[in-house]
Structure 1
Amino acid sequence: MHFDTLALHATHQPESTTGAVIPPIYLSTTFERNEANELTGDFTYTRPNNPTREALEHALAALEGGAVGMAFGSGQAATMTLFQALRPGDHVLLSTDAYYGTPALLEQVFHPWGLTYTRVDMTDLNAVESSIHENTRVVWCETPSNPMLAITDLLSVSRLAHEAGAICVCDNTWATPVLQRPFDLNCDVVMHSTTKYISGHSDVLGGALIFKRNDALAERVRTLQGLSGAVPSPFDCWLISRGIKTLGVRLRSQMATAQLVADYLVDHPAVEHVHFPGLPNHPDRALIQQQMNGPGAMLSIQVKGGAAEAIQFIGKLKLFTRATSLGGVESLIEHRASVEGPTSTTPVNLLRVSIGLEHAEDLITDLAQALA
């Protein structure tokens, strides 16, 4: 099945009782037992599971080609629950260029608890291999990375992880299953912030973990999720499922516009550097073509000057919304170092750009007047 067909049919299951083409949202928190105290269906209470959430989880597993999908209340909740499944004394290997919330969780929550971690340049396979310890249990990849859009060789990194007895986890939020299939590259777990492209409308918070196998790790994570209550509401699940239906067409349109915007900015005299996987001179072009079906719709630009010049530039924009997050239908831009705070290692002149569904010419005209 092509992705667009799969995305529609994975989330399109007419309700059997009434024949409703769009299934209802099961808002109930609890489910009835009969006179013999037996459950009349498969559900007891919404924290362990709910029909609307279960439908979303089946869809997520189908999109990524995994065995088990789990929906969470946020991407951070998904990440945290996976780390909770480890043991004190275990080691995590993490990219130096990763979403800032991931190392923040490790440093502020799990390191005091006894989990150790190392950050490494995931584009350097020798550095990855030398940084894997005897007690490494998870190699956490994020590709393209946030916010520098570095590309990790998932097939090679997953091989190094498996040789050491660790699992390879891929944060696939920026690429989505439209553009990248981590399980085909031997990864074991895929993570998503479904807040972003999968829901696609900047109106719902969510996260997901998809497991290649229904193994002991998946069972432990499911148990921890139920115990901690790191779950989304039924309405949030319904919104995310609705977003999945148009994921392919949205992302392809956004990606085409992102390519035109990047091509314009790369030659602009006021721009120092453009980070975008679709540029023809990208140093990892061969790897990008090998493991991705397109460059995505995210780019980062470094304007000439420092933080003052970068903030002055975005202050002049009319069509781009100055806000954090990404993957929505509207174009967003943010001064990333300001968002990440005083511990940020992001260049102070870097702006992260999420391309929406506006016309490319309008966005380029807006960028041109702000850069002039």
Structure 2
Amino acid sequence: MTGDNDSESDDVSFSTKAIHGDTSETQNSERFGDLVPPLHHTSTFVRDEIEQPRDEYVYSRNKNPTCNELAQRIATLENANYGLTVSSGMAAIATVGWALLRPGDHVVTLDSLYGGTRNLFADIFAEFEIDIDYVDPTDTESILDAVREETALLWLETPTNPLMKLCDLSSIAKSTATSETVIAVDNTFMSPYFQRPMSFGVDVVVHSTTKYLNGHSDVTGGAIVTDDPDLHNRFHHVQKYGTGANQSPSDSYDILRGLKTLPQRMKEHERNAQELAEFLTDHKTVSDVHYPGLQSHPQHELAKSQMSGYGGMLSFELNGDRDDVKYVLEGLDHFALTASLGGVESLIAHAGTMTHAEVSKRVRTEMGISDTLIRISTGIEDSQDLLTDLKTQLDSL
């Protein structure tokens, strides 16, 4: 499981898969010779007779060739057999939840989560009498102790958003292998280039394809992959009839194009993130830097063991107050002040008022998100320009 060099059963590299997908005859049968998979921009499909096999194309909410091409491509990159595309990352998370959870069920998740995920669990799922425990992602023993017989879902982020804490995927998967609990991992931060959770025994992997998989900040989308056909069918059933949150063919087409450069982009994201993290670590205005590529990160060794790189996301604590944060963030030239991530542009966000704005102050404090926490999604610009930009602002505090 290392970047371009797959350690799976075949000898096709990740970069080749990102461009060509699964090049078997079965997967290519729908391409009709096109070098680029065509955009099937249709809501419905004409049939020749009344009876038609269920696995054929009928209606694009149910199944569309362009969306299926993207779903299979992402599944291939995650070393999975089944993929499903949906309209956003939150739609992917919600689809997994609605497919797996019933009143009286129990969920174990993390006390450091993306704000939208936390709100989905705490404000929506909890209303359906679903019991939820929030656990320290770095404490594997506490995670495992929280799992009980009625635990239907163990939901993980690794690294977490925005504090970059890691979960030990191998230990968690091995220790819960005989239980009925489904382990799902949001792999958006790392992308399958740097981390493939299913290689460790995880059941489900979710992506916001809006982010690194697309990479150009111009579409929204989500994906769910698994090796379990029953789980896949349940997710697809909810997507078709429960949420209707299908991915549009045109957005799928754009994400397919973005996937082709995923390996090259991720290398640049990581290179810039490492340089920024090292610079921030040494700056007098910064008290703490959260980036697993730093040897000072408390889980650096775990990161080396389950990731082939450290990604393009980092966060840091500014020595100062909210006014200082405002001054730094609003004065930058090469960082866009916005809450998304994973694009070729460098983005910067204040966690308290942006990524976790709808999480209460009390919960943010419990999560460890302070009023001076800043998150960066490094783009692929020249690193010196980014460093100079940050240095200028920080030095002038």
Q: Same fold (TM over 0.5)?
A: yes
CA contact (8 A) 2:194 2:308 kept: yes
Which of 98, 121, 135 does residue 84 from structure 1 map onto? 98
The one of 286, 289, 294 aligned to 2:304 = 289
Match for 1:51 among 65, 72, 91? 65
Name the counterpart of 2:378.
Answer: 355
Q: CA deviation at 1:147?
A: 0.1
Do residues 27 (structure 1) and 50 (structure 2) align?
Answer: no
Q: How does 1:127-142 map to 2 (within 5 A)?
A: 127-142=142-157
The code of the aligned residue for 1:51 comes to: P
- Comparing 336-345 with 183-192, greater Cα deviation is found at 336-345
Matched, 1:334 2:349: yes
- Secondary structure of 2:107's counterpart equals strand
Unpaired segments of 5 or more residues in structure 2? 1-11
The alignment status of 1:208 with 2:223, answered yes or no, reads yes
The one-letter code sitting in structure 2 at the alignment partner of 1:327 is G
Match runs of 1:1-372 below 5 Å: 1-10=12-21, 16-17=31-32, 19-34=33-48, 36-39=49-52, 42-85=56-99, 86-214=101-229, 216-227=230-241, 228-339=243-354, 340-341=356-357, 343=360, 344-345=364-365, 346-372=369-395
Equivalent-residue separation in structure 1 for 2:299 and 2:42 (angstroms): 49
Q: How much does 1:129 deviate?
A: 2.1
Q: Please state how far the C-alpha of 1:14 moved relative to its aligned partner.
A: 9.1
Does the residue aligned with 2:164 lie in a helix, a strand or coil?
coil
Change (3 A) 1:51 1:313: same
How far apart, CA to CA, are the structure 2 residues paired with 1:137 and 1:39? 36
Q: In 1, distance between residues paired with 2:29 and 2:268?
A: 29
Report the AA paired with residue 388 of structure 2: T
Can you list the C-alpha shifts for 1:313-369, whole angstroms capped at 9, x where unaligned? 112211111011100000000101112225133111011000001100000000010
Give how far 1:22 is off: 1.6
2 CA distance for matches of 1:212 and 1:169? 12
Separation (CA, whole Å) in 1 of partners of 2:141 and 2:322:
34
Deviation at 1:171, TM superposition (A): 0.7
TM-score by length of 2: 0.90
Task: Count matched residues.
Answer: 369
Alpha-carbon spacing, 1:163–1:310, altered in 2? closer, same or farther (3 Å): farther
Pairwise CA distance, 1:217: 2.3
Distance in 1 (CA, whole Å) between partners of 2:30 and 2:88 is 27
User: By how many angstroms is 1:67 displaced?
Assistant: 1.5
Distance 1:104 1:68 in 2: 28
- Alpha-carbon distance, 1:174 to partner: 0.5
Does structure 2 conserve the Cα–Cα contact (< 8 Å) formed by 1:11 and 1:55? no
- 1:232-275 deviation per Cα after TM superposition (whole angstroms, max 9, x unaligned): 11001111111110001001011111111111110000111111
* CA distance in structure 1 between the aligned counterparts of 2:235 and 2:197, rounded to whole angstroms: 20
Partner Cα separation in structure 2 for residue 11 and residue 45 of structure 1: 24
Contact 1:179–1:292 under 8 Å retained in 2: yes
Amino acid at match of 1:366: D
SS in 2 for 1:77: helix
- Offset at residue 160 of structure 1 (A): 3.1
**Given that residues 87 and 220 in structure 2 are in contact (C-alpha distance below 8 angstroms), is that contact kept between their aligned partners in structure 1?**
yes
Query: Distance in 2 between the 1:20 and 1:129 partners?
Result: 49
Q: Distance in 2 between matches of 1:4 and 1:70?
A: 21
Counterpart CA distance in 2 for 1:298 and 1:275 is: 9
Q: Which amino acid aligns with 2:373?
A: L
Q: What runs of 5+ residues in structure 1 fail to find an aligned partner?
A: none
Change (3 A) 1:16 1:235: closer
Q: Is the 8 A contact 2:106 2:150 kept in 1?
A: yes
Distance in 2 between the 1:307 and 1:131 partners?
36
In the alignment, is the contact (CA less than 8 A) between 1:320 and 1:333 conserved in 2? yes
Are the equivalent residues in 2 in contact too, given 1:14–1:20 (CA < 8 A)? no
Q: Which amino acid aligns with 2:146?
A: S
Q: Secondary structure at the match of 2:370?
A: coil
Instruction: Tell me the distance in 1 between the aligned counterparts of 2:29 and 2:346.
Output: 34
Q: Residues of 2 paired with 1:217 and 1:362: CA distance?
A: 46
